[in-house]
Structure 1
């Protein structure tokens, strides 16, 4: 049986491994330890792994990986081994930097020391992911499948036990729509090569869990694991050149080939099983509720390297990825379904379908004679022929002749697979239908012929520039158009939207007359019109308008779509076929959201477009810029309030609202654990529909391994379903006037304290000097130009480097600053009654509890002593001392206030697993932080370019290292 056909028991465990081929596995470098007894002792120790509890297993695996890494370091760079053991590591590295950086050997040793620490963080993460899978297995063994956290089994069991009727569950499922969106923001430094090695290490650990191996086989497995770690040692971690967008596309598609094509069909199967168990006899028709989106190759905001040719190439690569996957699966099925007509007589309907397929193939005799009597193989061969023609058309050059006989849509392929599935069901072979055919049909229905739905994104400034050029072309003038926030500008937009479209020839004439920049912007929409027909009707998701400030901004996008021919009627006055999603990012824009949307939804064309697109208006909300704008507490409260108000407005106007959550990897950018984040959203705000960005290190953490990928897609989908079914019944989400009043007071005070700090003179100078802010631009993590990290003012600075650099310099103030002052001020006014209220909120308000929990976790990552050393890089003594005193005082106050509210004896005491993971990393992170400070000082004071180059790579490695240690960048 093929790997894809094997059953899944809910853990995402790979298939049972074959015995290792001992003779084929040799150490890459026969180090003194690995060559003899050391390796055999490690192998013998690993024999206990299958019997260990999850906690003991984690420690044993960490010890195993630690010993193997040290063994490799001893064999290849003994000085590095001493660093890994913590023996005078700081002194050794400092000596190398200060006295011997002109020595090439010393530079190599320093780089290896930093690389080895980064590798250790990566190995720790793999061990912890493996342990998490083991814990979930233990839970199911002890309590049963329905007790598995974050699963459909538990959610459906709980709602069934609570007496929720099948009709209500059926209604929730009917509009369930979950779509994580992969983005290419510059927050991921891992190359695909490194990700592949990580996956092999993860699989080796799984293999070592089996008790079946002989000592000889187990030794071979440990040796293979050592080889993988040694390959990681020898693989370059830093990109020598910036990746192209095409490389970013390949990076994103890597996860589909490795895990995601399989994960989504299994998700549907898990939900179907849970419904069958807890609602026996009830029928549920599940829509394809889980799909992936992507911004990679479609996000032009700040990235001039994404142009029309790149977007087109991206669509073709996305198309080829799924088509090749389907072909591979069809070949497997053709090999497996060797059912003869004598063993399983097929109904007449299947014979008729086969006859049609054979005639359409052009080779009926050849196909029938090759597999005589094997009707399913004949039918699958016909499908393969059609798919091959589809692949040939997808791969042909633009001027090549089309191949006839291919599929015109994914629906046709899914229908052909359904014929086989229904035939097997009709002939009492339902298990074969369910395990072999249905997963592939679900893949085709989910990923279609585009793998992902590609969103397009551009910012308001660029859109406005294109509109101003169009205004001049339409009005036949070179003058200045009205201001974008004026009634005159709105009147022009509405007038153009209300008039019948000009002829195609007239629109083409205008397009050719536009300035190059404006023409490029309009071409985005023209490409949508063309490529939908070539690739798939669902190849595109939506147009995301960054930094939406007013309704006019969104109306302008509709006008460009009309100019490109994206309206459903020839006159171009009825409805737009491309969803337009405003992205509200700043706190001021979030507060104006109801006003913006009320004005927008008052336009009949907009309402008609929403109805034609399914009756849902999507709103994207930004966690990053709202945090940078007002601090962590205020951001979370304003985001929550905005969702509540927007939903209420939608209810008033009779329009369903769906939220697209623009989260990043770090806590400061919304990177809170997904299950808890969804559970804390306002009651009724999800209603089955949920989109969220997944970027950088988040993508590789969640989706690099099969087990974790299956867990995370189920966690996301089950959390959305649970919120939909339960949120309006839950006490923890019900509005409470006194709680809301307290949140408003705390948010205002927190924002005021945060603003008072960041608006002081000298803050940007302090930040630039006391962190590697400017040096981040040298990291080739994304295709976007380095200037995204540059800034002349705090307003110019993008949210990603803002968060990234504060995390690097161990201040981490984006995740806590202002909270201490807010709570202290609240308690100074309300005294004991205030403390009692905050403690009740901590117990009863899910949002307040979530914010306080994440603040506490962030505070645990701060190191005031090391932060002070970073501050020493600021040359202006008065600026340095003034600002750092404020930071230190607010930190101490916030620690005190958080402990006061929670009753916790110390930071992290309430989170033992989090604290254990952090404590494993902090000694090494602290060491690297101190080395980074010295490297920054030396790099910035270097007198020659040669000296700067000597410090550059170690400095960048230190940035990678710290980011890897904390598990987040931006």
Structure 2
């Protein structure tokens, strides 16, 4: 361990790593000053001492300072990364930036693709990051806002224009922000409710995404114009959300909450559009005397003034200013729309906008009027960005998905079955995977409806679930169909599960025809999560897409059937290597099923923040998808701390959005250009064998009867639930079994105790077994796969990075918390042996002597973080022991607060929780 974990090597910037040495030095020195002013006795702990002599309260303050250290380091890294990208663009041009539209389109041009081919690819593409409120964000909004101010201060300090006095003043302001961060309570005093989570999600739109989203669309247009001489690409970006719609295991997401989420998201967009129109109105002070107004715009203005009902007043208030008069009419209509939304009248609004399309039309009218008056540049810089904003965020900000699990849906259908047949509550419904149940579903779906059935006898739970579908039917005319995404059915096990959702949609009036037999107007998406479910998915979708009702519904909704695939649960179920391979195979097979059925299958990737839950570099992850698997709509979840790390600052948000969209576009273009098989049969055969061996090794661990006891005692699993970081329970149905434990706390706890088995376990055994069975030819094949297979290389790289964070010495200290020595030695022994095998095999494959040598920037980040993380991890072991053994309530509470701060601190050090 280095003597002073806060110190920074002088070579930090010189190595090319994405952070600024000067910024880090400044931030850390200011933090030291703050800590020294308030608690000088904590400085030894910040210099690497254990802190064993401190009281729990003072140790908590020291751990909070160490957590702030990580937060400041991340801010400096974001700032440094932005500076580095600017420098590359300044010296080499934007096309030299990997992951930019300029880079992708320059490559397309060199490859000989035509502008028509590129435009076709854009025309069929939608990229939709989906914000979720998964309980992995350990920072309060107050803290996030403080971070943003510190980030902006660093940008201010980059400028060379300041005098020494002004720079000193800026540094004083920065010190004040750090001091306020130090004095701000980092832990939530109460669990957030869902309404607070909705506000938390909208915070990122108000702070960055409303502005950054249209900028990303503009970058694509600029790159297209530069390399192909054309612009005005169709909009390809949109946002989704689960916050307020995800009721899978969260009893606090009610129909009233979902209704509130729709209204709040609609109001957020409308208020943003109003603010933008008002700013444009104030700036567009063009007098009619100074230009020639086109007849078309004059006619449009006359009509707008007449429709406003107060044309004379508007004209008198803005005499001789036709564009301002037009914008006042637009503003008044937005005000009416906002008022109607607040009153939940929606489309019944008399003078407001009935849809975002009408506002877009008005903005195009204004744009054309300016161009006709030879003010095209003004139109480009002032009106086009606003039009892009409205096109992107519509009147809904996001498309809200609703999600429910198949167990709850089945309970509702069973109640419906009893009511429809007049059966008492104690009569069991047919088995859900049987022919009798499916026959009943098909008969109900085929039966015409003359009106809504009387279902007043349904139990409360079933009534709530059916009420969700009725809510959608009620709200769509008020907020617009674009305010909704899809209904996502988690834990989909068979075709009947999905058909049951169609039936509930029919009962709620969500079919396009009055009789309710032709087609469903609500997109319904199955979610396949476990290894077995992923393997069953192609057969399930083939069965569904063969049904006329499903096929008609999909074609009416654009000819794209979405399927969601889960990275978290498949990893928890099968281990890292098997999860990645099964996800890859499922996409290949489902794409083929769609082709057979004449339907495009689009994938929604349920990724989390950590590597164990699919959180790998976006560009490489997309590049490793099967060829041809990105068709039309590409969606992925942005969860918890990932949202704040990607979208808290404008520069970082713009980079991450462009990287995501450009990577999807690059994959689509390369799939177009390369016909034939998307992978090597030899590589596929090898991955199948590797996956089988890895799965067996992983199952040997998680099926060990001693594992549950070991995991609960050797990790802060139960204590994590004391963190108030999300409204959703850690277990779906309140059970205590490993099967019911959600993937997030599963990964969270294994990362806290430094075992991190979720990111590597079983890989070493699979590689060793492969070489043992196939000999030198097998080893040569692995070497070729390492060089040529994007998927295999991604798996190996991420395993190696994870192994660099695993610390068996610290893990052994956690294992000492296990009371039963037999359990302790058995489970820890298995993990230690597999770690040694995996480390040796990965280094053998990569040809390096040390872990992460191939990733110098990553290694340097670890060098700055691990000494402090290791220190806090050891403190956490002592805190866990003291918390669990202490019976005095006051003393136990002191240990609890400090323990939770240590969990926050380790999470901040790694940059991820679950």
Matched positions, count: 904
1:872-930: CA deviation from partner (whole Å, max 9, x where unpaired):
00111111001111111110110000011111121010000001011101011001101
- Specify the alignment match of 2:150 in structure 1: 201
SS at match of 2:616: coil
- Structure 1 segment 772-811 matched on structure 2, within 5 A: 772-788=716-732, 792-811=736-755
Q: Find the aligned partners of 2:25 and 2:219 in 1 and give their Cα distance.
A: 35
Q: Find the aligned partners of 2:601 and 2:220 in 1 and give their Cα distance.
A: 25
Q: CA deviation at 1:817?
A: 0.3
1:67 maps to which of 29, 32, 39: 29
- Specify the alignment match of 1:233 in structure 2: 182
1:30-70: CA deviation from partner (whole Å, max 9, x where unpaired):
xxxxxxxxxxxx9xx9xx99x99965961111111110000
Q: Find the aligned partners of 1:928 and 1:53 in 2 and give their Cα distance.
A: 28
Distance change (3 Å), C-alpha of 1:225 and 1:715: same
Q: Find the aligned partners of 1:677 and 1:731 in 2 and give their Cα distance.
A: 21
* Unaligned stretches of 5+ residues in structure 1: 1-41, 97-105
1:352 maps to which of 293, 299, 320: 299
Q: CA deviation at 1:833?
A: 1.1
SS at match of 2:638: strand
Are the aligned partners of 2:17 and 2:857 in contact in 1 as well (CA < 8 Å)? no
Q: CA deviation at 1:403?
A: 6.1
How does the TM-score come out when normalised to structure 2? Answer: 0.97
Are the aligned partners of 1:733 and 1:846 in contact in 2 as well (CA < 8 Å)? no
Distance change (3 Å), C-alpha of 1:55 and 1:579: closer
2:134 maps to which of 185, 198, 204: 185
Q: Find the aligned partners of 2:18 and 2:451 in 1 and give their Cα distance.
A: 72
Q: CA deviation at 1:285?
A: 5.2
2:395 corresponds to 1:433: no
2:462 corresponds to 1:518: yes
Q: CA deviation at 1:341?
A: 1.0
Q: Find the aligned partners of 2:483 and 2:284 in 1 and give their Cα distance.
A: 32
Are the aligned partners of 1:688 and 1:721 in contact in 2 as well (CA < 8 Å)? no
1:165-188: CA deviation from partner (whole Å, max 9, x where unpaired):
222112111111000000011000
Q: Find the aligned partners of 1:249 and 1:447 in 2 and give their Cα distance.
A: 16
- Specify the alignment match of 1:472 in structure 2: 418
1:809-856: CA deviation from partner (whole Å, max 9, x where unpaired):
000010000000000000111121111110110000000000000000
- Structure 1 segment 312-327 matched on structure 2, within 5 A: 312-327=259-274
- Specify the alignment match of 2:542 in structure 1: 598
2:45 maps to which of 71, 80, 83: 83
Q: Find the aligned partners of 1:733 and 1:379 in 2 and give their Cα distance.
A: 56
2:83 corresponds to 1:134: yes
Q: Find the aligned partners of 2:734 and 2:352 in 1 and give their Cα distance.
A: 49
Q: Find the aligned partners of 1:286 and 1:582 in 2 and give their Cα distance.
A: 31
SS at match of 1:338: coil
1:450 maps to which of 381, 385, 396: 396
- Specify the alignment match of 2:4 in structure 1: none
SS at match of 1:305: coil
1:95 maps to which of 53, 56, 61: 53
Q: CA deviation at 1:288?
A: 2.3
Are the aligned partners of 1:577 and 1:609 in contact in 2 as well (CA < 8 Å)? yes
Q: CA deviation at 1:327?
A: 1.0
* Unaligned stretches of 5+ residues in structure 2: 1-6
- Structure 1 segment 569-588 matched on structure 2, within 5 A: 569-588=513-532
1:392-422: CA deviation from partner (whole Å, max 9, x where unpaired):
1112378x99764111111111111110111
- Specify the alignment match of 2:257 in structure 1: 310
Q: Find the aligned partners of 2:182 and 2:589 in 1 and give their Cα distance.
A: 52
2:379 corresponds to 1:379: no
Judge which range, 530-539 or 941-950, deviates more: 941-950
Q: Find the aligned partners of 1:642 and 1:847 in 2 and give their Cα distance.
A: 14
- Specify the alignment match of 2:63 in structure 1: 114
Q: CA deviation at 1:689?
A: 2.3
- Structure 1 segment 753-832 matched on structure 2, within 5 A: 753-788=697-732, 792-832=736-776
Q: CA deviation at 1:733?
A: 8.5
Q: CA deviation at 1:142?
A: 2.1
- Structure 1 segment 32-51 matched on structure 2, within 5 A: none
- Specify the alignment match of 1:12 in structure 2: none
Q: CA deviation at 1:942?
A: 1.1
1:255-305: CA deviation from partner (whole Å, max 9, x where unpaired):
00011011111111111111111112x4x6533211100000000001111
- Specify the alignment match of 2:203 in structure 1: 254
SS at match of 1:545: strand
- Structure 1 segment 461-500 matched on structure 2, within 5 A: 461-478=407-424, 479-500=427-448
SS at match of 1:95: coil
Q: Find the aligned partners of 1:125 and 1:952 in 2 and give their Cα distance.
A: 26
How does the TM-score come out when normalised to structure 1? Answer: 0.91
Q: Find the aligned partners of 1:502 and 1:952 in 2 and give their Cα distance.
A: 60
Q: Find the aligned partners of 1:783 and 1:794 in 2 and give their Cα distance.
A: 21
SS at match of 1:658: strand
Distance change (3 Å), C-alpha of 1:966 and 1:350: same
Q: Find the aligned partners of 1:537 and 1:699 in 2 and give their Cα distance.
A: 25
2:215 corresponds to 1:266: yes
